[in-house]
Chains A and B, each alone.
Chain A
Amino acid sequence: MTRGRGRGHGRHRDTGGEGGGGGRGFLGPRVPVEVEAMARGVQDVGKEVFRRLLKVTVNALEGKDCKESVKLIAESANLSEEQLAFLISGMYTLLQEALRLPLSTFKQEVFKEDLKELRIPEDFIVDFSSVVFGNRRPTSEGSALIQKSRLPSIQDFKWRVDVAISTSSLARALQPSILMMMKLSDGTAHRFEVPVAKFQELRYNVALILKEMNDLEKRSVLKIQD
């Protein structure tokens, strides 16, 4: 499909690979089906209804429950279930993809241009824009935007240092030992003893990783151009 832009790759894209080859911008070379459907369907939606739909979508992104609000919109506006489905899912996907990109490199003009190409009405573009770039940007706490695919991290760490004075094998042991109890974010708890020598090894390794992290953060690897 040819578009009227004479210069093909002309526009310099801050969003890197996502815009190459005359593609669609921040949504990638193939616009998701629901976004296209939404872009078409939203033409016939009034401003009032659109704003309510947008609000519901933002709440969903923040992880809040929106069943009630959706029901209200379905009843009051003249929308079928199907229309409602692709409108909301299209808006959700659009915003989710836009919110993935860091603000330092993703510029408002580029976003607006991309939405214009989807034939979304100007008013609505302004509203979308204010969600992504303005102060209506969804907070990441408790939202669908937090990384879910992490390995467990430490939620609670307790320890104690004991000195064994006497045991069944040794009248005078005087051996220090360390007991650690870790509760991880996936709910598991681990309690284990750490021999003093192993503890030194652990401490050494953690210090080493910290040093490497510091070096990494300073190195030019991090100056990879976005």
Chain B
Amino acid sequence: MSELTIFVLQAESTFSEEEEEKLQIAFSLEKQDLHLVLEAISFILEQAVYHNLKPASLQQQLQNIHLDEDKAEAFASAWAAAGQDTIEKFRQRVLTPQKLETIGWQLNLQMAESMQAKLKSPQAVLELGVSNEDSKNLKKVFVEFSHQELFDFYNKLETIQAQLDSLT
């Protein structure tokens, strides 16, 4: 039971056909029964996440609904091990389709261009990797900044930081 619980906790998404078959064999369950067990475990864990239950509290609640003691204990120990991480993962979930994933940058010293010789102007290029929930590819957004532009951008970031600080 506790192994299955940990499986469910660690699974990012639902099990694939192959995985389900493997589980069926491992636990000698029929397909119907396996589904039932997995759904039950998922539900219990979702509730635990929603209410931010402590392991002891979870165990108590399960015993209250007359679940076997050893099974309740299995839940509690799995929850104690991976509960906090799971809650944190849910906390970080965003509803917007696009999320900033990667940040890269390059600092260049531009020496000349077709319109101007002998420049020596520093330019920064910021590469922002934005993920899109639908496509799974990272969209790379390239933005160029001069010294002044980057400085202005930084000041805006500082303003955001000040807002974040005022929340705590």
Partners in one complex: yes
A100 adjacent to B50 (CB under 8 Å): no
Whether A202 touches B157, Cβ cut-off 8 Å, given contacts A154-B143, A163-B167, is yes
Q: Is the interface of B mostly helix, strand, loop or mixed?
A: mixed
B91 adjacent to A170 (CB under 8 Å): yes
For the complex, is A152 an interface residue (Cβ under 8 Å from B)?
yes
| B 73-104 binary contact with A (CB < 8 Å = 1; else 0) | 00000000000000100111111101111010
Q: Which residue of A lies closest to B168 (CB)?
A: A176
B107 adjacent to A154 (CB under 8 Å): no
A196 adjacent to B164 (CB under 8 Å): yes
Find chain B residues with CB under 8 A from A192 CB: 96, 98-100, 130
Number of A-B contacts (CB under 8 A): 149
Among the listed A147, A190, A196, which residue makes an inter-chain contact with B115, where contact means beta carbons less than 8 Å apart? A147
Find chain A residues with CB under 8 A from B50 CB: 169-171
B167 adjacent to A202 (CB under 8 Å): no
For the complex, is B154 an interface residue (Cβ under 8 Å from A)?
yes
For the complex, is A81 an interface residue (Cβ under 8 Å from B)?
no
Q: Which residue of A lies closest to B151 (CB)?
A: A210
Among the listed A102, A180, A199, A206, which residue makes an inter-chain contact with B117, where contact means beta carbons less than 8 Å apart? A102
Among the listed A144, A147, A193, A201, which residue makes an inter-chain contact with B96, where contact means beta carbons less than 8 Å apart? A193
The complex places the Cα of A212 from the Cα of B80 at a distance, in Å, of 46
For the complex, is A150 an interface residue (Cβ under 8 Å from B)?
yes
Find chain A residues with CB under 8 A from B103 CB: 198, 201-202, 205
For the complex, is A73 an interface residue (Cβ under 8 Å from B)?
no
The complex places the Cα of A26 from the Cα of B95 at a distance, in Å, of 59
Tell me how far the C-beta of B146 lies from the nearest C-beta in chain A, rounded to whole angstroms: 8
- Interface range, A side: 35 or more
B107 adjacent to A105 (CB under 8 Å): no
The complex places the Cα of A154 from the Cα of B153 at a distance, in Å, of 9
Find chain B residues with CB under 8 A from A153 CB: 143-146, 149
For the complex, is B120 an interface residue (Cβ under 8 Å from A)?
yes
A169 adjacent to B100 (CB under 8 Å): no
Find chain B residues with CB under 8 A from A207 CB: 154
Tell me how far the C-beta of B129 lies from the nearest C-beta in chain A, rounded to whole angstroms: 10
Find chain B residues with CB under 8 A from A163 CB: 167
B144 adjacent to A150 (CB under 8 Å): yes
The complex places the Cα of A161 from the Cα of B150 at a distance, in Å, of 21
Find chain B residues with CB under 8 A from A196 CB: 164
Tell me how far the C-beta of A20 lies from the nearest C-beta in chain B, rounded to whole angstroms: 15
Find chain A residues with CB under 8 A from B136 CB: none
The complex places the Cα of A180 from the Cα of B113 at a distance, in Å, of 32
For the complex, is A45 an interface residue (Cβ under 8 Å from B)?
no
The complex places the Cα of A102 from the Cα of B119 at a distance, in Å, of 8
The complex places the Cα of A43 from the Cα of B99 at a distance, in Å, of 65
For the complex, is B142 an interface residue (Cβ under 8 Å from A)?
yes
Q: Which residue of A lies closest to B116 (CB)?
A: A100
Q: Which of A2-10, A48-56, A213-221 contacts B (4 or more CB under 8 A)?
A: A213-221
Between-chain CB contacts (< 8 Å), 15 pairs? A102-B118, A147-B114, A149-B113, A151-B142, A151-B143, A153-B143, A153-B144, A153-B145, A176-B167, A178-B160, A193-B100, A195-B99, A202-B157, A209-B126, A226-B118
Residues of A within 8 A of B (CB): 100-102, 105, 144-154, 157, 159, 161, 163, 167, 169-173, 175-180, 182, 184, 190-196, 198-199, 201-203, 205-207, 209-210, 212-213, 216-217, 221-222, 224, 226
Instruction: Using A154-B153, A190-B128, A198-B100 as known contacts, list a sample of 8 further A-B pairs with CB atoms less than 8 Å apart, ordered by residue number in A.
Output: A145-B115, A147-B114, A151-B143, A152-B143, A153-B149, A170-B49, A176-B167, A203-B154
